[in-house]
Structure 1
Amino acid sequence: MPRLRANDIEQDKIARFERIKKAITALEKQQKQILKQGDLAPEGAWVARYQVSQNRKKYWYYKLQVPTPSLPCATSSKLSKYKHLGKAGTQEHIDAVMSVFRRSVWDEIQRIIHTLDDCLLDISSGSEQEEEEAQD
């Protein structure tokens, strides 16, 4: 296989750079679509199921939970780790589940964009091809 000339190598770099930029643009467009669908849950949030016993009966409820207090309390001006959502299938429950889903998709897209940004740096800085250090 013949060696590539300097011009061919530069053209290849430009083409790869442009493909990555195009992919990043598509991912950012996806993020905008996600935001149009509704709110994102706070980072690290999840929907938890819990049980309450009352008058010898057991009831299941749901809550939005976060690792650090960031949710407004219904009864005070403090922040809480929990937001009561009620029973399964209530509008608040479904909204919370979907906001957690949107957050997870958003975060995954953001991780991919960061990875592709690193690829752009490799291409533009020339660090994708480095000389190995001689070993003794």
Structure 2
Amino acid sequence: MPAKDSDIISRAELIQQAIATLQLSIQQIQASGEVAPPGCCVLRYQARGKQGTYWYYKLQANKPIFPTQQPDKLSKYKHLGKAGSPNHIHAVLSVARRTQIDHLQSCIDSLRQNWVELYDSLKEKK
């Protein structure tokens, strides 16, 4: 096997190892707690009451995914309550996990493309 071919194979193996490491990181994040659905974020909103203005938080999705009190109806919003409430903190952490996983998955996708390009270059030589 020519030296250049073994170099390409060696680099491809390093890419595979990096992908495996990133996949393990994703599994560890998933095991650490609930992961928010894709496209969700935590937003602050203002509500006015008889005794003044209050700030609350909601988990918002880009499409209706959260159950409502009405059967067969979904909402884009999930009320979380006040800052620091258990629901608020839980949602913030779950969105943070989603963000981490999405970034790691993007890195994996990029490395997979690099791996394909390496083997394509190996095929072109033959």
Give your verdict on TM over 0.5.
yes
- Which residue does the alignment assign to 1:67? 62
Whichever residue aligns with residue 72 of structure 1, its letter is P
1:10 positional shift: 1.1
- Residue 122 of structure 1 contacts residue 128 of structure 1 at CA under 8 Å; is this kept in 2? no
Unaligned 5+ residue runs, structure 2? none
Structure 1 unpaired stretches of 5+ = 1-5, 131-136
Q: RCO greater where, 1 or 2, for CA within 8 Å and sep 6 or more? A: 2
Alpha-carbon shift at residue 128 of structure 1 (Å): 9.8
Q: Which has the larger radius of gyration?
A: 1
Tell me the residue number matched to 1:116. 111
Following superposition, the deviation at residue 82 of structure 1 comes to: 0.3
Go from structure 1 to structure 2 and tell me whether the alpha carbon gap of 1:18 and 1:57 turns closer, same or farther (over 3 Å shift).
same
Distance 1:123 1:65, change over 3 A: same
Partner of 1:76: 70
Which of 85, 93, 96 is 1:98 aligned to? 93
Contact 2:5 2:122 in 1 (8 A): no
For residue 125 of structure 1, report the CA deviation from its aligned partner: 1.6
Equivalenced residue count is 124
Which structure 2 residues correspond to residues 4-15 of structure 1 after superposition, within 5 A?
A: 7-15=2-10
TM-aligned CA distance change 1:128 to 1:113, over 3 Å: farther
More helix by share: 2
Identity of counterpart residues, as a percentage? 41
Moved over 2 A (4+): 127-130
Give, in whole Å, the separation in 1 of the partners of 2:98 and 2:37.
7
RMSD after superposition: 1.8
Q: Secondary structure at the match of 2:39?
A: coil
